[in-house]
Amino acid sequence: MDFFRRIMYMLLLLLECVCIIGVDTTGQTPLNSEDKATSRNVAIIGAGSAGASTAYYLRKFSDLAGVPVNITVFEREAYIGGRSTTVNVFDDPSLPIELGASIFVSVNYNLMDTAKELGLKISGAGGDRPAESVNMLGIWDGFRFLYLQGHSLSWWDMAKLLWQYGLAPIRTQRLMKNTVNKFLQMYKPPYFPFSSLSATVQALDLHEATGVPGAQFLESNGISESFSNDIIQSSTRVNYGQNLGLIHGLEAMVCMATDGAVAIEDGNWRIFSGMLDSSRADLRLNTTVTAIKQNSDRSMTLFHSSNGGSTSRHTFDEVVLAGPFQYSNIEVSPSLDRSPEKIPYVRLFVTLFSSPHQLSPEFFDLSDQKDVPEMILTTLPRGFNLGDREDGVGPAKFWSISLLRIVEASAEDSRQKHYVYKVFSPEKLTAGFLASVLAVEIPASDQNGTIGDISRNDISWYHEKTWHSYPYEYPRMEFEEIRLASNVWYTGGIESFISTMETSSLMGMNVAGLMTNEWHDKLHLGKPVSWSGWTQQRNNEL
């Protein structure tokens, strides 16, 4: 019974497609070093999951090693969290909803551990949904629902799942656990901290999953095509905007590891904000790093400007590039020893909106309002194979539509409540699509317009965002180097391996560990850190 409950829970909660240095009179040398002979001055570019985690664990590890560290974090945006950020319905701060990464799960050790350490409020994912519909989840192929799941998890629901898909759910659960357990070895010695992601993937036999498309990986492990298409592919689409013919097998398994899905009240970005506070870093928001000059003494001079302001420069001992290098627009001179390759990223359109109307049953060929699922994931019709095409959305035309919550109408609004929805799609939603899905009338001339062309009586609030959200997870066995040059570190290579808030945090922690090791081994600073001891202490705290 517990196994089947985990399977159902997995289906309902699929993841989705982040010290102080002053300025001297020359503007080049970091001030406030505790001891110039022993302290290290570190610049981290990016305040998302990877950057915040690098700062957080660098503070922990440097304290263990006894090496004074001054940390400066540069972030070109005005907020912390990267792709983990919230917006407010009706611009009301009491109604925040996630715009990016919405949930994390029990095996996300860094996020779970840090949230508890910081005393953040953790709540079950999806708890705000109103449960007005008979069906919590539906998987739609653009023509019909292939799978529907109610709110209850009765023995009859479990029997229907096995009747429809045979032993595939059980086999998938076993395969997912086996694969994820291999990945979890990366958090502890002898693998942690790892100097080469490619070598570690090989050592853990994870290349068997990353080296082939998800469809091939599942087939070779005895997972039926119908279950893969209906359940697993709907998960890879909502999480990564990619079908099983494109995405590699490991990422497909990650999509199914949804046990214990939770979120931080008021926004998951609070984890990363708390990390930066704990790191005692000098945080510089609205600050863009434009260039890095590698100096003959192995130090780096960073050129940066407050957005719209004049350029300043400061010199650091170490620099961490904590984001996709191809989108940083940073000039490095002389050139890096190893420049990350440019890889294609998914362009994801996120549309949040509120409406007094519910989703139309007629749009989904249903007869009753109560039959419309609160979470609609999409997949391809069976036998409709798009292979490894990047434009793989198929007849459904969108990746997912989710009802997030109900909010109260303003005092002057005669309607009692408004439904708040989130839509993931590969293209910007048209007014015609939204009018159809809500069954509202708009002029024919507005059909190809935008959400803003729809009356506020029908869509009372909206917010649109376009993300370069994650890479196309093509099968591969080689991944980007972690060190790009002497004292230049890179976290972004893990995105082609697994792209989540947690794995970005893992790479940030890993870079902090490598840096601490090198300080002792090559510079003879501080004392060595016992990674087995630190891991054991962490496990005891967890």
Q: Are the beta carbons of 272 and 52 closer than 8 angstroms?
A: yes
Q: Are strands 488-490 and 318-321 parallel, antiparallel or unpaired?
A: parallel
Which amino acid does the sequence have at 20?
Answer: I
Q: Are the beta carbons of 274 and 114 closer than 8 angstroms?
A: yes
Give 128-143 pLDDT, tens digit per residue: 888 888 999 999 999 9
Q: What is the mean pLDDT of residues 34-48?
A: 82
pLDDT at 395 over 90: yes
Distance separating alpha carbons of residues 222 and 205, to the nearest angstrom: 19
Q: Categorize the per-residue pLDDT at 249 as very low, low, confident or very high, splitting at 50, 70 and 90.
A: very high
Q: Categorize the per-residue pLDDT at 150 as very low, low, confident or very high, splitting at 50, 70 and 90.
A: confident
* pLDDT at residue 25 in the model: 30
Contacts of residue 387, Cβ cutoff 8 Å, sequence gap at least 6? 245, 246
pLDDT at 460 over 60: yes
* pLDDT at residue 124 in the model: 82
Give 98-121 pLDDT, tens digit per residue: 998 788 888 899 999 999 999 999
Q: Categorize the per-residue pLDDT at 412 as very low, low, confident or very high, splitting at 50, 70 and 90.
A: low
Q: Categorize the per-residue pLDDT at 255 as very low, low, confident or very high, splitting at 50, 70 and 90.
A: very high
What residue segments make up the domains of the chain, in order of their start?
A: 40-82+267-343+474-541, 122-264+344-471
Cβ-count burial of 344 within 10 angstroms (0-12 exposed, 13-18 middle, 19+ buried)? exposed
Q: Are the beta carbons of 139 and 230 closer than 8 angstroms?
A: yes
* pLDDT at residue 23 in the model: 31
pLDDT at 9 over 70: no
Give 475-486 pLDDT, tens digit per residue: 999 999 999 999
Per-position b or e across 159-193, b if 16+ CB within 10 A of its CB: eebeeebeebbebbbebbeebbebbeebbbeebbb
Q: Categorize the per-residue pLDDT at 19 as very low, low, confident or very high, splitting at 50, 70 and 90.
A: very low
Q: Categorize the per-residue pLDDT at 343 as very low, low, confident or very high, splitting at 50, 70 and 90.
A: very high
At residue 261, the 3 state secondary structure works out as coil
Contacts of residue 514, Cβ cutoff 8 Å, sequence gap at least 6? 193, 195, 482, 483, 489
Distance separating alpha carbons of residues 255 and 261, to the nearest angstrom: 12
Average pLDDT, the chain: 90
Distance separating alpha carbons of residues 507 and 513, to the nearest angstrom: 10
* pLDDT at residue 392 in the model: 96
Q: Please state, in angstroms and as integers, the Cα–Cα distance from residue 371 to each residue in 85, 287, 361, following that order.
A: 32, 49, 7
Max mean pLDDT range (14-18, 34-38, 39-43)? 39-43
pLDDT at 27 over 60: no
Q: Categorize the per-residue pLDDT at 413 as very low, low, confident or very high, splitting at 50, 70 and 90.
A: low
DSSP string, 195-246: S-HHHHHHHTTTHHHHTSBHHHHHHHTT--HHHIIIIIHHHHHHHHS--TTT
Q: What is the mean pLDDT of residues 397-414?
A: 86
At residue 189, the 3 state secondary structure works out as coil
Give 52-103 pLDDT, tens digit per residue: 999 999 999 999 999 999 999 999 999 999 989 999 999 999 999 999 878 8
- The hierarchical CATH code for the domain 40-82+267-343+474-541 is 3.50.50.60
Q: Assign a CATH topology to domain 122-264+344-471.
A: Polyamine Oxidase; Chain A, domain 2 (3.90.660)
List beta partners, residue 214: none
Q: What is the 3-state secondary structure (H, E, C) of 45-104?
A: ECCCHHHHHHHHHHHHHHHHHCCCEEEEEECCCCCCCCCCCEEEHHHCCCCEEECCCCCE
Q: Are the beta carbons of 49 and 75 closer than 8 angstroms?
A: no
* pLDDT at residue 415 in the model: 67
Q: Please state, in angstroms and as integers, the Cα–Cα distance from residue 292 to each residue in 278, 282, 333, 488, following that order.
A: 27, 19, 6, 10
Q: What is the 3-state secondary structure (H, E, C) of 443-509?
A: CHHHCCCCHHHCCCCCCCEEEEEEEEEEECCCCCCCCCCCEEECCEEECHHHHHCCCCHHHHHHHHH
